[in-house]
Amino acid sequence: MTTSAQSIAPIRFDGKVAIVTGAGGGLGRSHALQLAARGARVVVNDLGVARDGSGNGMSPAEKVVAEIREAGGQAIASAASVTDPAAVQEMVEQVMREWGRIDILVNNAGFLRDKSFSKMTLDDFRAIVDVHLMGAVYCTKAVWEIMKQQNYGRIVMTTSSSGLFGNFGQANYGAAKMALVGLMQTLGLEGEKYDIRVNCLAPTAATRMTEDLMPPEVLALLTPESVTPGMLYLASADAPNKMVLCAGAGTFSRSNITLTDGVHIGERPDAVEQLVANAHRLQDRSGEIVPVAGFQQGQMEVTKAREGKA
């Protein structure tokens, strides 16, 4: 059961400046429009490429900016490629000249080059990693020190169920999207004392990237607008930190990387045989935890080793 909307204060972004990459259509457009409608000044970044990353143009970003301005909001367009660090830096400098701060970064830009791993070229693999992973790295790096100096920042990475759980024909996309979760985990720790919160959104939405993958009746439920509330939550003042939020068709859930209690075998000649014999204990999730940081794995292992010798 959801809580009555009458009892909840509206989420606002008045005075905040947001950059949304890949905002010329689909999810990015929805994100940009909603941020602007709730008071944010928005940089609509879009290279204007096709679904496979080819071509470019300014018109998609300009159209979204026009929509925002017609509704009474403030926005500027950017055609910077997220794969070009110099262009990204120039975009950030333009925003600082225009508005003097950057509070929110939504790393949403991307495209697909789906093929089975056997048929996928290394160029296709590299192109997807460059835009999804390195594009997010370049944009985040460009705003990181600004957010530290402000003692405030909200960064939303766009991950995917293809990275979290796998999807046939998307080895390149899945690898890049899961890498963003690892990036989030560390940046969430490093940014915490500066009130920089870093989270991941795993959307399921009907966009040009998914239009050929699902039947029309399913696509009708998976609107970008049904995902955007998740982004707004992760970008808000009361945002969590290091959360992977899954969103689609108005349903929201959290995905966690967990650590089971495991089994201590120790150093012995038949260690691998003992591991095989106790494989069921590896899969026992009754005592699993969600580690705060990577050190907890080593801490658990050393503790069990000491207990085994006691």
- Give 89-118 pLDDT, tens digit per residue: 999 999 999 999 999 999 999 999 999 999
Given a cut of 70, whether residue 58 has pLDDT beyond it is no
The helix/strand/coil state of 238 is coil
pLDDT digits (tens, 9 = 90+) for 173-212: 999 999 999 999 999 999 999 999 999 999 998 766 566 6
Confidence of residue 1 (pLDDT cuts 50, 70, 90): low
pLDDT of residue 171: 97
Looking at the predicted structure, is the pLDDT value of residue 57 above 60? no
Q: Where are the domains of the chain?
A: 5-255, 271-309
> Under CATH, which number does the domain 5-255 receive?
3.40.50.720
Under 8 Å between Cβ of 93 and 143: no
Instruction: Tell me how crowded residue 250 is: count the other CB atoms within 10 A of its CB.
Output: 13
Instruction: Note whether 113 and 97 are within 8 A (CB).
Output: no
Could you give the CA distance from residue 72 to residue 262 in angstroms, rounded to a whole number?
56
Active site (catalytic) residues? 173
Give the confidence band of 56 by pLDDT, cuts at 50, 70, 90.
low
Read off the pTM. 0.93
According to DSSP, the β-strands at 244-248 and 251-255 are antiparallel
CA distance 14 to 41: 8
| Helix ranges (DSSP H) in the chain | 26-37, 59-70, 85-99, 122-128, 135-150, 161-164, 171-191, 216-219, 228-235, 271-277, 279-282, 295-309
pLDDT tops 80 at residue 3: no
CA 160, CA 175: separation in Å to the nearest integer?
A: 10
Of 78-92, 203-217, 228-242, the least confident? 203-217
Q: What are 260-271's pLDDT values in tens digits?
A: 999 999 999 999
